[in-house]
Every structure is written in structure tokens, then in C-alpha cells.
Amino acid sequence: MRFPITTALCLGTVSVLVLTACSNGSARATNPTSSGSASGRPEGKNAPAAGPLSSAALAKRLLDEGDLGEGYTRKAEQPGRHDDVTVIGCPGLGELGGDATAGGGLDFPRRAKVSFTYAGGTGSEVTEELYSGTAAELSSGVSRIFEAMTSCSSYQVLVGSTAVTVTNQNVSVPRLGDERWSQLLTFTVDGHSHVVKQTAVRVGMVVAVVSGSAALVDAHVVKAVAKARVTT
């Protein structure tokens, strides 16, 4: 059984909780700490920005095939789904409501997203999502989502009539940007499991979320963050 899941924390993101026929990833599946080495606390400095970027400006900072290299194909954006979603066994996550539970994007109006498949492995996908807002808005909003996601190590999500078991594991994050979050999510349906990694990094007034196959996320998150921070 194939699980076409993409972000995010797609974080988040993914994203993440809707595991039916489409990939509508959430950027929020991560925690601001990971294995002791990663921290949600601000570190470092970024080039100054006049204010949050528009969605059009964010779109220009997304990864493209030239950034990723050979073997990647851009996926057409899937229409959003509106399945009834209920969280069982994780009060903190259930209280979020709205997009945070249903697997939509983070609650920031300035956003851009792109997804790719990789020919090097069956079902290998990677998704990038960019969000912009003030540093304070991004920090508090993303942290709130991630903390809720990791308040329970295991829980169930009912997507329509489908029961999905979700478990998570904090993982280390490279020292990137001002704040960073990362987590492995395992989704299990009818005995079949799929693992998604989501890494989110804030650089100034932009949050970059890279989600998908763990190997692909690790391979491209540094470049995604570097491109997200570029000033023009």
C-alpha cells in the first residue's frame, strides 16, 4: 500500500495527517528540540529584511530541478481535500483544530510550495514549503504547532473512515538558521507503514520546511535554507 505523504512540519507543514489519495502535506510535524543537539532557540544572525515576503517572492526562493540535480520530476500540485479529521489520544494536538489537525499548511498567508519525485527510489518524494511573517509570528506559531505534535509519542488520526496510527521520534538538526525543528513520523494503516522526515528552519522572516524521504530531506535541506535566506 502506497502512502503519498508530503509535508511538514510539512513543518510541516508536511502534511501530514491526511493519508488518503492526495499529498496535501503539512509543515508541522516537528519539535523545536531534537536529540539534544537541535534547539528551537534563536541562534545566529541573518541579513536584514524590510518585512515579510509575499507569496510571489517566496515562490522564487523554492528549490527547482536545477538545485536538486538529475532524477527529479516536479509534481503537479494536488487539490486540497476536506476529509473529516479527528485526533484520538493526543489532547494537545486535538485542541489545535483547523488546518493544524487536517494537514493543511501552516497558518501564515504568505506561502509557497513545491513537490518532487525522485527516480532513484520507489515512492521517493520531497516537498518544500516556504512561509513568511515577522520573526516573532513565525517563531511562536511554528513552535506552538510542533510542541503539540510532540506532546504525544503515539496517537491515532481518523481521516474520514480511515484510522491512521502516528508515532514520532525527535531527530537531530544541522545548525542552520535562527531556529530549527525536525522529526521522523511513522504512519501506519492496516499494518502498512510509511516514514516521513520533516525538517523546518527559520531564517529571519522565512521558515523553510523540507519533508519526505529522510535521505532526500537530509540531502537538500541545507540548500533549501540557503536559497530561502537569499536577499535580492
What lies within 8 Å, CB to CB, of 169 at 6+ separation is 183, 184, 186
Q: Where are the domains of the chain?
A: 55-229
The set of cell numbers assigned to 12 is 510541516
Would you place residue 58 in the very low, low, confident or very high pLDDT band (cuts 50, 70, 90)? very high
Q: pLDDT per residue over 10-31, tens digit each?
A: 323 333 333 322 233 333 333 3
Stated pTM of the model: 0.77
User: What pLDDT was estimated at residue 45?
Assistant: 45
**pLDDT tens per residue, range 188-214:** 988 888 888 989 999 999 999 999 989
99 contact partners, CB below 8 Å, separation of at least 6: 26, 105, 106, 107
pLDDT band at 80 (very low <50, low <70, confident <90, very high): low
Q: What is the mean pLDDT of residues 111-138?
A: 87
* pLDDT band with cut points at 50, 70 and 90 for residue 231: low
Architecture of domain 55-229: 3-Layer(aba) Sandwich (3.40)
What is the average pLDDT value for the chain, to the nearest integer? 74
Residue 92 has pLDDT above 50, yes or no: yes
> Which has the higher per-residue pLDDT, 45 or 35?
45
Could you tell me if 198 and 182 are in contact, meaning their C-beta atoms sit under 8 angstroms apart?
Answer: yes
pLDDT at 143: 86
For cell 522526515, the residue is 197
